[in-house]
């Protein structure tokens, strides 16, 4: 019997915000000099932000600048600390956690595929009781302030293939950047999508994705 597989995004699906952006904001708030240095390039970043295809690069640049110069051990400790706080917050999407637990109990292979950084994502999943699921995430060199692997868009499909996953039955996401994931799924599912997002996804996929509504809140 073939094991069924579900691929699940993290940000916006299992956590009602961007996990790595949360870490970056934490760093900027504690380093005014770092924030001022980024502000100096604000006009250039604002110009790039107006072009949708450049937005991932803007976000990546802002996020990696926040941690540039950190030793790996210091970054890992911070990631674990903040992930623990996130896992205790009202932003945990417990509806999604429950669905993933149900899939695991039913014998599914469940993989969280996220653009967030691996140590941060792994610690968050442990914190919400999903340490048994597999994880495919971005890998960061904090000292250099750059992603070694940025697991975003089509890169998610490539990284899943490297992890030995070439087909999947279910894909859950809240973002059009994950259209490659949805396109490879027998059953594509959008989480908390409005009508505009659902229509755009349908137009690009050629089929109507399922839409589910999942709520965040305190631990149940």
H/E element holding 21? helix 19-29
Give the other-Cβ count within 10 Å of 96's Cβ.
26
User: What does the alpha-carbon distance between residue 89 and residue 166 come to, in Å, rounded to a whole number?
Assistant: 34
How does DSSP assign 29-95, residue by residue?
Answer: HT-HHHHHHHHTTHHHHHHHHTSGGGHHHHHHHHHHHHHTT--HHHHHHHHHHHHHHHHTSTTB-HH
Q: Which residue has the higher pLDDT, 41 or 25?
A: 25
| pLDDT above 50 (res 117) | yes
Give the pair of three-digit tokens for residue 181. Answer: 């994931």
Helix 32-39 vs helix 19-29: angle between axes, to the nearest 10 degrees? 110
Query: Structure pTM?
Result: 0.90
pLDDT tens figures, 119-157: 999 999 999 999 999 999 999 999 999 999 999 999 999
Least confident of 27-31, 51-55, 74-78: 51-55
Q: 148: helix, coil or strand?
A: strand
What are the residues whose beta carbons fall under 8 Å from the beta carbon of 41, sequence distance 6 or more? none
Torsion angle defined by CA atoms of residues 76, 73, 142 and 66, in that order, rounded to the nearest 10 degrees: 60
Least confident of 26-35, 71-80, 148-157, 201-210: 26-35
């Amino acid at each position: 019997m073939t094991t069924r597989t579900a691929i699940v995004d993290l940000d916006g699906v299992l956590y009602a915000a961007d996990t790595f952006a949360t870490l970056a904001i934490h760093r900027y708030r504690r380093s005014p000099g770092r924030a001022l240095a980024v502000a100096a390039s604000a006009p250039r970043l604002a110009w790039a932000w107006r072009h949708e295809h450049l937005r991932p690069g803007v976000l990546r640049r802002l996020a990696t600048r926040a941690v540039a110069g950190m030793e790996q051990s210091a970054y890992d400790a911070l990631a674990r600390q903040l992930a623990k706080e996130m896992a205790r917050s009202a932003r945990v999407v417990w509806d999604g956690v429950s669905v993933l637990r149900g899939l695991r109990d039913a014998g599914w292979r469940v993989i969280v595929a996220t653009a967030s950084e691996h140590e941060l994502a792994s610690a968050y999943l442990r914190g919400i009781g999903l340490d048994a699921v597999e994880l495919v995430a971005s890998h960061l060199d904090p000292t250099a302030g750059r992603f070694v692997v940025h697991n975003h868009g089509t890169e998610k499909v490539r990284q899943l293939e490297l992890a030995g996953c070439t087909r999947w039955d279910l894909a859950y996401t809240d973002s059009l950047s994950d259209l490659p994931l949805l396109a490879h799924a027998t059953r594509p599912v959008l989480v908390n999508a409005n009508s505009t997002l659902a229509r755009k996804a349908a137009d690009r996929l050629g089929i109507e994705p399922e839409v589910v509504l999942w709520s965040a809140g305190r631990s149940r």
